[in-house]
Amino acid sequence: MTAQVSELIELLSLERLEDNLFRGQSRDIGTKYVFGGQVLGQALSAAQATMDAVQEPRSAHSLHAYFLRAGDIDAPIVYLVDRTRDGGSFSVRRVTAVQHGQPIFFLAASFQRAEDGQAQHQLSMPEVPKPDDIAPTPDPSPEQLARLPSKVQRWLSRQGPFEFRHVYPRDELNPPKRPPFQQVWFKLSQRVGDAPELHRALLAYASDFHLLGTATFPHGISYYQPNVLMASLDHALWFHRPFRADEWLLYSIDSPSAQDGRGLARGQVFDLGGKLVASTAQEGLIRVINEAKD
């Protein structure tokens, strides 16, 4: 297993302090604060770990989360799980993430026992090239990196655990204005174990990539620009069908609105065979800071 994948698996494998109390480490991946996907994935891992008291297996089918404060990349995060309800078919867990004595994140997760539903349908996957027909995104040149802040340089130059292939690539360093739609193939760069709980946590982590950025497309701005401030405010994720995070998944994203310093983005995740396996939604802060005039 590569160092990047091994580190991510370790990051999502929390230390259990008490029955409902867990501790996770933080990683600096080039973002100013803790990456939102890390907190989302770790909180889901904590909630999943408390399903051990339920007699029959139950799987997470929806998550709803709010980001309250920026996370400190140099400090661990403690996750407190409230076992809110274990009903006949559904279980609910609420998770509070705490750093330096203050809550930085809330998550509510719902779990369901396996059930055969009579009503089943899904929207079709967009017709796009397959990932093997798309060239990997080239790395920025040394000259381009030299003009960027040090954090952004490290973000762009790092080799992460996920591989991404953009159907319609955009130059994030010189972003053009275009409609708020994008499709991105992604997968974990190496095969991992079969536990569905692990793959859900991995998808939760990866679902924070590229989502909010779609709301910047009509405005010709990018997170890489020093005068653009972006931060996740909330995040929702629904799991529909079984999947593997180490096999190609298509992230089809659109942004229906941006206003009042906030942008909304929605995503659908399809497997290579066209099955809709998950859906996402996120609203985030988008501020363009006017540069001081001489």
Active site residue ranges:
208, 232, 282
Token pair 């967009």 in the structure block, residue: 126
Burial readout 138-155 (b: 16 or more C-beta within 10 A, e: otherwise)? eebeeeebeebeeebbeb
185: left (phi over 0), alpha (psi -120 to 50) or beta: beta
114 vs 92: CA distance, rounded Å:
15
51 vs 46: CA distance, rounded Å:
9
Q: What angle do CA 150, 6, 13 make, to 5 degrees?
A: 100
Pick the closest to residue 243 from 268, 277, 272, 274 (CA basis).
277
Q: CB–CB of 111/49 below 8 Å?
A: no
Q: What angle do CA 75, 81, 84 make, to 5 degrees?
A: 160
Token pair 């229906």 in the structure block, residue: 256
Q: In what order do the strands lie in the sheet with 58-67?
A: 15-18, 21-24, 77-86, 90-99, 102-113, 58-67, 228-239, 276-288, 262-271, 249-259, 181-188, 162-166
Q: CB–CB of 270/250 below 8 Å?
A: yes
The answer to whether the Cα torsion of 100, 210, 31, 248 is positive or negative is: positive
